[in-house]
Structure 1
Amino acid sequence: MSMRRDVHEEVRSRLHEAAGAHEPDRERMLARVERGMAGPAGSGHRATRPPAFGWMRVAGATAAVAGVLAVGGYAVASAVKDEAAPQQQEVATSPTPTPSPEATSRAPAPPAPVEPAPSRSPERRESGPPSRTTSAPATERPPAATEDGPLWSDGSVDPHSNDFWAQSNITLRTRGQLTALTVRLKVAQTGGVSNAGAWRSLPENDFTLAVAEQDGFLVYTWTLKEGRTVPAGEWVFAGQFDHLRGGRDAGKDTYSVTATAASRRLSVGGGFAAVDDGGDGDGDS
Structure 2
Amino acid sequence: MDETRLRRELRDAALAHRPDHARILARVERGMADPAPAPRRRTPTGTRRRWTVAVAVTAAVAGVVGIAGLAATTLGDRPAAPATALPAPGPAARAAGTVDPGSNRWWAQGDLALTTESPVSGLTVEVRVARTPGVVSTGHWQTRPTGDFTVTVTERPDALVYRWTLRPGRDVPPGPHVFAAQYNHAEGTRDPSADTYTAVLTGADGGVTTLRGAFGR
Distance 2:200 2:124 in 1: 5
Distance 2:164 2:200 in 1: 11
Q: Does 2:216 correspond to 1:266?
A: no
1:165 aligns with 107
Distance 1:161 1:216 in 2: 22
Contact 2:91–2:120 (CA<8 Å) still a contact in 1?
no
Larger C-alpha radius of gyration, 1 or 2? 1
Aligned sequence identity (%): 42
Contact 2:91–2:119 (CA<8 Å) still a contact in 1?
no
Q: Map residues 155-194 of structure 1 onto 2, 5 A cutoff.
A: 155-194=97-136
Give the secondary structure class of the aligned counterpart of 2:139.
strand
Distance 2:157 2:183 in 1: 17
Structure with greater contact order relative to length (CA < 8 Å, sep ≥ 6): 2
Give the secondary structure class of the aligned counterpart of 1:271.
strand
Q: Map residues 126-205 of structure 1 onto 2, 5 A cutoff.
A: 150-205=92-147
1:56 aligns with none
1:234 aligns with 176
Contact 2:126–2:161 (CA<8 Å) still a contact in 1?
yes
Distance 1:260 1:189 in 2: 30
Structure with bigger strand share is: 2
Give, in angstroms, the shift of residue 215 of structure 1: 3.5
1:224 aligns with 166
**Deviating runs (4+, > 4 A) in structure 1?**
none
**Normalized against structure 1, the TM-score is what?**
0.44
Distance 2:167 2:156 in 1: 23
Distance 2:154 2:210 in 1: 22
**Normalized against structure 2, the TM-score is what?**
0.57
Distance 1:208 1:239 in 2: 14
Give the secondary structure class of the aligned counterpart of 1:205.
helix
Distance 2:130 2:210 in 1: 22
Distance 1:149 1:207 in 2: 19
Q: Map residues 4-19 of structure 1 onto 2, 5 A cutoff.
A: none
Give the secondary structure class of the aligned counterpart of 2:124.
strand
Which amino acid is the alignment partner of residue 230 of structure 1? V
